[in-house]
Structure 1
């Protein structure tokens, strides 16, 4: 593979959020939506690399039917250039059948490879500086067993695909963890195990076994309606020494991986064991020549390790936004601060009735930023909103 010196720039991304109204509930409507996605990509001279599709979940059978329709449409429409995609059981706001968060990669002299693993598509993007792997939907949500086995299955697939591409878990810089019924408590012989805590135990095991670096990816752990676990991730392998990936901290928040046992819900997985905290960084900065990206983890109304603004969605939203802003002002080796801008925001709202308040605040603070709003349980029962995103800077 040959690259010129002019190719040694960061890989630029942009995003578009599109919706499908309920009266378009047909394969034809989905195909028209996908056509809009591709048409937008052509207008910006970009190629689709990732689709995250959100849909409501009246019941499990209805969700699986809608997900199957959308999946078939993606394969039929994109044919030999199927992007990474996941169909997530989170209701989009305002009320629509589907919302699509579409990611596009732009730039000259990129090598883009469309690949498959276990019938799941993934993308490799390469230039002279980096090799990027984007995969969505690792796991087997159609074969739900229990939360532990589903999490193990998802992480095993992550490891498999990384090994296939000569990468390791050390290369993961951004991860999305979709955990079915994330707050549910399960009785295991008198010990009460929360689904999210079980997921964290499995994540801790795999990171210990397959990850040798001391820091962690940026990540989101969020609830979905359908049982099971799926994982989306981005792994980046530097091909030159001019690429750096560093964790970014918020001085007002304790790092999640050092949370005390008292804020971790439920019993330990075994007698006399300690509970694994969530292992992720508040943010992660990818610095390249010409273009840098700040991945903002799922962020909520937490100061130190305590929830702020219990039962007050307005306060929680404002504290969450302040936490995001503090991450974007962090001093860890940022390039020229004046060039930073938001590229994408995803907003999770726990209660449907809170959506208008959250949307109004977010649109006031982030005008013109592509945003998708969905209904989801956050990782703590007293958290009403969570926001994640991506910032970019040309330098």
Structure 2
């Protein structure tokens, strides 16, 4: 499937590309025993926290239901990696991949813990010279636990907002993001930042997440619907976790398949908002599914929409609204 896209996104045009795409992504069935010097990150799904000292290994406790479960992000440029206190990272001069993990005891006050985590990452990125958040993944155990404003996701959202809003005009440069619940304890934040910004893309079918009304919590979620990045001879759209939400309301709460169709409509709307000179094609599609029993029907619909040649990964995870069963994130790429 390919998409010929019109010019003109919701926000200002992206900066002129100054470099080639500084990474490429491969999907593997299993992780290498040793990571080469060119690896920026090795993301393993369905695995517990990494036990070795390599900060490039990122293990996410979302069980793999279908597809290949390892993302290997590699660099054509020399890579430097290390740790800065709790933050593990790798960078190549243009982009930085990083992770921060908090064990469950550190989440006794989730708002404070998420504030501290995001503020720490922000300081680190500024110090390292990668001031622009591009993409963030948040994996929080028991994400919809608690009621009302005491819900864990709402508390996380408040802390994240407090940290990111310390920067003036922060809503104009929010990263694409995902927030998914896991069954094991703790909070994992892994992220990509750059030396130059991307273009923030919003969805005409949805209220921007950072403009949600008060009914969804004391502070709105601080992320963009997608991030458009332009490189020399290349462009990509990083699509945030996207669900069956139109306006700001959940649709089809009792039908995973109808939710998937609505979610796909939202993804298509985002593609229509991006600005690309050549067709954008899916490089990776990830689907998070609350109940594994729904896999056969949603996997079939996913493949019929994107085509059998598209790499699709299905993971078990809890979406950040209890009534939602399905969430999709994706990377679309155009090569000139």
**Shift in Å, 1:192:** 5.0
Give per-residue Cα distances to partners, 1:274-332, cap 9 Å, x unaligned.
x10111111110122211121100000111111111211111111111211221121x4
2:25 paired residue among 1, 6, 14: 14
SS of 2:253's equivalent in the other structure is coil
Aligned counterpart, 2:11: none
Asked if 1:49 corresponds to 2:45, the answer is no
2:262 paired residue among 305, 313, 319: 319
Aligned counterpart, 2:84: 117
CA distance 1:214–1:152, shift in 2 (3 Å) = closer
2:51 paired residue among 35, 50, 71: 71
Preserved contact between residue 101 and residue 372 of structure 1 (Cα < 8 Å)? no
SS of 2:48's equivalent in the other structure is helix
Give per-residue Cα distances to partners, 1:332-376, cap 9 Å, x unaligned.
4x12242x1111111100112111111111122222222221111
Any residues of structure 2 matched to 1:198-237 within 5 Å, and which? 198-210=155-167, 212-215=169-172, 216-237=174-195
Q: Tell me how far apart the structure 1 counterparts of residues 57 and 268 of structure 2 sit (CA, whole Å).
A: 29
Aligned counterpart, 2:284: 344
SS of 1:144's equivalent in the other structure is helix
CA distance 1:161–1:143, shift in 2 (3 Å) = farther
CA distance 1:348–1:116, shift in 2 (3 Å) = same
CA distance 1:71–1:362, shift in 2 (3 Å) = farther
**Shift in Å, 1:226:** 2.3
Aligned counterpart, 2:133: 172
Preserved contact between residue 49 and residue 83 of structure 1 (Cα < 8 Å)? no
SS of 2:203's equivalent in the other structure is coil
Q: Tell me how far apart the structure 2 counterparts of residues 343 and 47 of structure 1 sit (CA, whole Å).
A: 20
Q: Tell me how far apart the structure 2 counterparts of residues 87 and 143 of structure 1 sit (CA, whole Å).
A: 19
Which ranges of structure 1 fall in alignment gaps of 5 or more residues? Answer: 1-6, 20-32, 56-65, 76-81, 239-243, 266-274
> Relative to structure 2, which stretch is displaced further, 305-314 or 10-19?
10-19
Q: Which has the higher contact order (CA 8 A, sep 6+)?
A: 2
Size of the alignment, in residue pairs? 316
CA distance 1:145–1:322, shift in 2 (3 Å) = closer
Aligned counterpart, 1:302: 245
Q: Tell me how far apart the structure 2 counterparts of residues 12 and 234 of structure 1 sit (CA, whole Å).
A: 11
Any residues of structure 2 matched to 1:1-395 within 5 Å, and which? 8-19=19-30, 33-35=31-33, 47-55=38-46, 67=48, 70-72=50-52, 75=53, 82=54, 84-94=56-66, 100-107=69-76, 110-118=77-85, 120-126=87-93, 131-136=94-99, 138-141=100-103, 143-146=105-108, 147-168=110-131, 171-185=132-146, 193-210=150-167, 212-215=169-172, 216-238=174-196, 245-262=198-215, 264=216, 275-330=218-273, 332=274, 334-338=275-279, 340-366=280-306, 367-395=308-336
Which ranges of structure 2 fall in alignment gaps of 5 or more residues? Answer: 1-17
**Shift in Å, 1:34:** 1.8
Give per-residue Cα distances to partners, 1:167-219, cap 9 Å, x unaligned.
43xx1011111122110016xxxx75110100110011001114544321111
**Shift in Å, 1:51:** 2.0
CA distance 1:389–1:209, shift in 2 (3 Å) = same
Q: Tell me how far apart the structure 1 counterparts of residues 288 and 267 of structure 2 sit (CA, whole Å).
A: 14
Superposition RMSD in Å: 2.5
More helix by share: 1
SS of 2:156's equivalent in the other structure is helix
